[in-house]
Structure 1
């Protein structure tokens, strides 16, 4: 909850000076009226709203120029400060992302327009001030001084089968994008994948945004492209270099190094607090928020929105570079598996290019057969995948023991990775009813293994 604001602020637009509450650019983003959905008059509405606020479940109706319809503020745990804002599926619920309507309802200015005309403190300057305060205080006293490492592999989460509530855990969105590490040094910025492949040339806009941050740090996050609803769209991400469609973002959820200090051994909650304090306002680089304790409710909300899942993290966990641990758990809204494409069958009927993909996963150093997938393709993906497979054709099966298939197979070098959704495993280790989702060109084939949930 925020402090009470004077009623005179209702028409204020401008810049609140640094050092004051709510510092930064301000616009009137929306205006209108609110009421309780069951109230008959203003007095009853106020009473119902206050009762709901105390209970941690406040329902209200907005009649604004942008926001309309019924909403609910739900407290995730009593006496905690974590709340979820939920939109009821009524006639005002729309697929379009309302945050794209970024102009003031009074002046038609954006936050950027205000900042340009009224000379607010620069975000990088604010970041420098916060870091200076941190260095002068006790925040980093127990973080050893070491050189910033280069080309690190990130900490990974272990698959889990269902969400849970726990006071010692926090929960984040599982972003559907490219995991990426950002090295911010005095002379350069390096953005690279979990497989140490440079992403600078693919996402120069993110590099430019990170270059404006006037501190040295090692950040862990996810590159995503969101659609007009604000939902991550992996296909938009894969096509972004060519199409430029969607909104490109880098969500930062962890920090490993800051101003010559190794912070990996600090508890996660402290690393999160450091991030919150130092990350400046940016159109492209965002802090990935979390909620405490209430994983089941959060997962339910994510599932209803059709999103990929959540990540559960032990609040006191340290950062284990390059390791998959049970301190972090990934909980998906649907069962998926990555597979190495080992071959393809001939097309049947009216289909072109191929019939099905033969998939494998590594068990140690051996590629093992996990099934084949023939559904989920369209004309575009059939053509694109076949074009990528043709240069990889080989004479022999890449499996040590060639699997039995219903039709003859054209074998390929096991280099391409795809992702499927399926309905569990058979006793023989085959996927049940797999359906193709997408190619995963950000994954390395030799790292693909069967995913086992806790």
Structure 2
């Protein structure tokens, strides 16, 4: 039986106090493992049956218990530097390459609904269920640190990880809620990029996003587009500004699919953008517009 996930609220500040525990924020696919004897069903965040997609995890789950269990976790791929990589995970799924399930909560065990228990008790029972884990095992326990949240966050960011999840030690599991007992704090990068164009709506009458480029060794490299963070109040002024420097063709190579709704400019404007990483395709992941200036 699929149980709706508890979701974390995105916040800007790490909570203080020893009544919080902190886990790594994984960059992967949320997954629920429903075990009933040798039968294993793996569900996506939307409740879809992804057992076939994650089929190489099934034998490991079959060895965990002869009874029943419902385990909340994240399917990730770990790169050579020990970081969870969403790009690597997508490529791993295409090649059916090894991936890892990080288990961080136990919702049911042998017919007992555990969601009303304190989190720390659920995690203790989960760790006991998993037993001792080898580094090469496809199922791993998501370890945590109690307190010291800001220090944990800073170390995660310095190591190139995505961020932390903060959880109240004694909180119950709230299926379907984005409650204040689970908080996520993301590590973000921030950089300036040249504006090389803008994306219109289907009618070609509005500015929906800026096309971005980075100058590397004297050459412009396309970095995708940013629309999040641009307010409706700002759009008319930005549209007027880019129309003054419009050119017929982009000043660099851009993906074919971007040309349909793309309009192009001389690279005279510089956008301040926050983002989480540059993908293997060379574009920004989770970009957010912060401001603009004249070059």
Q: TM-score, normalised to structure 1's length?
A: 0.45
Q: 1:356 to 1:185 in 2, by over 3 A?
A: farther
1:242 to 2:94 alignment: yes
Task: Report Cα offsets for 1:376-431 as digits up to 9, x if no partner.
Answer: 8xxxxx9xx9xxxxxxxxxxxxxxxxx765579746xxxxxxxxxxxxxxxxxxx9
Of the candidates 311, 318, 329, which is equivalent to residue 172 of structure 2? Answer: 318
The Cα offsets for residues 261-319 of structure 1, whole Å up to 9 and x where unpaired, read as 10000000110111111113451001000001110111111111011000111101110
In the other structure, the counterpart of 1:286 is: 140
What is the match of residue 11 of structure 2?
A: 160
**Higher gyration radius (CA):** 1
Describe the SS at the equivalent of 2:160. Answer: coil
Q: Please point out which of 25, 29, 32 is paired with 1:181.
A: 32
Q: How does 1:376-395 map to 2 (within 5 A)?
A: none
| Cα distance change on mapping 1:296 and 1:222 into 2, 3 Å | same
Residue aligned with 1:238, SS? helix
Corresponding residue of 2:75:
223
Give yes or no for contact 1:373–1:434 (8 Å, CA) kept in 2: no
1:67-216 maps to which residues of 2 (within 5 A)? 149-150=1-2, 152-186=3-37, 188-214=39-65, 215-216=67-68
Tell me the number of residue pairs that the alignment of Structure 1 and Structure 2 aligns: 230
Specify every segment of 5 or more residues in structure 2 that has no aligned partner in the other structure, as ranges: 191-195, 202-206, 215-221, 225-234, 249-258, 262-270, 281-285, 289-295
Give the drift of 1:373.
4.4
Alignment of 1:10-25 (within 5 A): none
Q: Which is strand-richer, 1 or 2?
A: 2
Contact 1:357 1:374 (8 Å CA) reproduced: no
Question: Deviations for 1:111-162, whole angstroms, at most 9, x for unmatched residues?
Answer: xxxxxxxxxxxxxxxxxxxxxxxxxxxxxxxxxxxxxx42x32101111112
| Cα deviations by residue, 1:330-386 (Å, 9 ceiling, x for unpaired) | 0111179xxxxxxxxxxx8xxxxxx76679xxxxxxxxx87344348xxxxx9xx9x
TM-score under structure 2 length normalisation: 0.66
Task: Provide the rounded CA distance (Å) in 1 between the counterparts of 2:174 and 2:189.
Answer: 26
| Native 8 Å contact 2:27 2:84 kept in 1 | yes
SS of the residue 1:154 aligns to: coil
